[in-house]
Amino acid sequence: GENVEQHPSTLSVQEGDSAVIKCTYSDSASNYFPWYKQELGKRPQLIIDIRSNVGEKKDQRIAVTLNKTAKHFSLHITETQPEDSAVYFCAALTGGFKTIFGAGTRLFVKA
Amino acid sequence: NAGVMQNPRHLVRRRGQEARLRCSPMKGHSHVYWYRQLPEEGLKFMVYLQKENIIDESGMPKERFSAEFPKEGPSILRIQQVVRGDSAAYFCASSPLQGGEETQYFGPGTRLLVL
C-alpha cells in the first residue's frame, strides 16, 4: 500500500550545524512532496514543498531535494538555530490525492 | 483571509458519549482532510472529502466514526460511543486542489479527551 518512511526519528545537532532528514515513498504516481514543521501543541505548518518536475528547491536556510527514480526526498536545514527545534514531517501526495505523512523527526538544536 | 478553523479546540467526553468535531476550510477551498494524531506520533490520514462527497475514507474506522462535508456549513467528524483509545488530537486540513495548488493548510486541531 501507500507508505512514506522517514529517518531518523530523532536528530540532535549543535547550533550552527546542518540537519538532514530523509524520506522514501512507495507510490510512483506521487508528484507533490510537502514538508511540515510542528511545534509542541501547535498545528503542522508548511515550510517548503517540491513538485516532481523539480530536483531541488531552496528557501533561505531550508532546501529540499527529490530523486524520483529512487523515490526519495530529503530536507536540509543549514545553520540551525534553537528555534528550529520541532517535529518535522515529510509527506507525499498520492495519485489518489491522498497525502501520506512520514512518522516525523524530532529535531533538537542545542545552543 | 481566515485560515482553517476548528472547534471546539478542546473536548472532554465520558466513555459512551458522542463527540462532534467541526472544521471550516479556508475560503475557496473545497477539499477537506481529517487526520488523527496520538501523543508523540505522526499524522494518520482518516478521510478526504469534497463538498457533499466522501472521496476516500480508507483511514477511518468502519464503526463509530463518520464524516460529512455538506453543501452549506462546516465539515463534521462524528465519533459515536467514544472509548478511551479515541483520545487524540484531530486535525483537519483544506486545499483548493485546483490550478496546480495541492498544498494542505491545517487547522489548530481539536484535542479530544475521553474519561
Q: Residue A95 has what pLDDT?
A: 76
Residues in B lying within 8 Å of A, measured between beta carbons: 31, 33, 35, 41-45, 48, 55-56, 58, 91, 93, 97, 102-109
Over residues B31-56, the mean pLDDT reads 91
Mean pLDDT, residues B18-46 taken together: 92
Cβ distance of B43 and A34 shorter than 8 Å: no
Select, from the ranges A76-85, B24-33, B35-44, the one with the highest average predicted confidence (pLDDT): A76-85
Show the CA angle centred on residue A21, arms to residues A38 and A67, nearest 5°.
120
Query: Which of B31, B42, B102 has its CB closest to that of A89?
Result: B42
C-alpha B60, offset from chain centre: 11
The tens digit of pLDDT for each residue in A27-62 reads: 888 989 999 999 998 999 999 999 888 889 999 999
Residue B40, pLDDT score: 81
Average pLDDT over residues A19-25: 97
Say what percent of chain B tops pLDDT 90: 79
Pair B32, B97: CB distance under 8 Å: no
